[in-house]
Amino acid sequence: MSVWLDDLSRELTDGGELQRLVDAGVLGVTSNPTIFATALSKGDRYTEQVKELIAAGADTEEAVFQITTEDVRRAADILKPVYDRTNGLDGRVSLEVDPRQARDTAATEESARKLWQAVSRENLYIKIPATVEGLPAITTALSEGISVNVTLIFSLDRYRAVMQAFLTGLEQAKQNGHDISKIESVASFFVSRVDTEIDKRLDEIGSEEA
């Protein structure tokens, strides 16, 4: 069973913490803008880099982009031996497109390209939400040789649509001359969100039976 860590930040990539976790059995890492926002707002691990980026003229969005892609690149390098050992099955790092673009197909496609090119590691997954607008972006990303982690799947019907987007993307990737054996994809059901909502409703009922 693959063990993934859902909390990538400089705290892990600095000082060998992530390497120790990999040695202990963690086979992949995922992240999202919320995780990085929390990491940036707490402690001082990013302070010097933020100062350097601001001094270089970077605005807030560019600074965040540079910081997140650098951390993901470092994590991908740490996990590369796992990726090689498992022939690409494990040893991957996920990085999410801008969630504000979840209803904008073209913007999601461009965000996926930009992140893929910036990190430039074959053991990277680009996380794309399974919104109606995200489905064609999934196909486009795969067709361009970008490995995808599809998020925000809440129903079997949407999963079927994701599978169709995936298969179409692979077909187009092959037509475009990509080695499809190097293209991977993960479909992530957000069971935790359902659990959280159920727990809240049970707490509201407040009975022993609940």
Helix (H, G, I), strand (E, B) or coil at 187: strand
Assigned token pair, 94: 């996920």
Catalytic one of 51, 114, 127, 200: 127
- How far apart (Å, rounded) are the C-alpha atoms in residues 63 and 77? 21
* Kind of pairing between the strands at 92-96 and 148-153: unpaired
**Has 114 been annotated as catalytic?**
no
Query: Given its phi and psi angles, is residue 24 left (phi above 0), alpha (psi -120 to 50 degrees) or beta?
Result: alpha
Do residues 93 and 80 touch, judged by C-beta distance below 8 A? no
| Cβ-Cβ contacts under 8 Å for 179 (sequence gap 6 or more) | 145
User: Which residue is it, tokens 């799947």?
Assistant: 153
Q: Annotated catalytic sites, by residue? A: 127
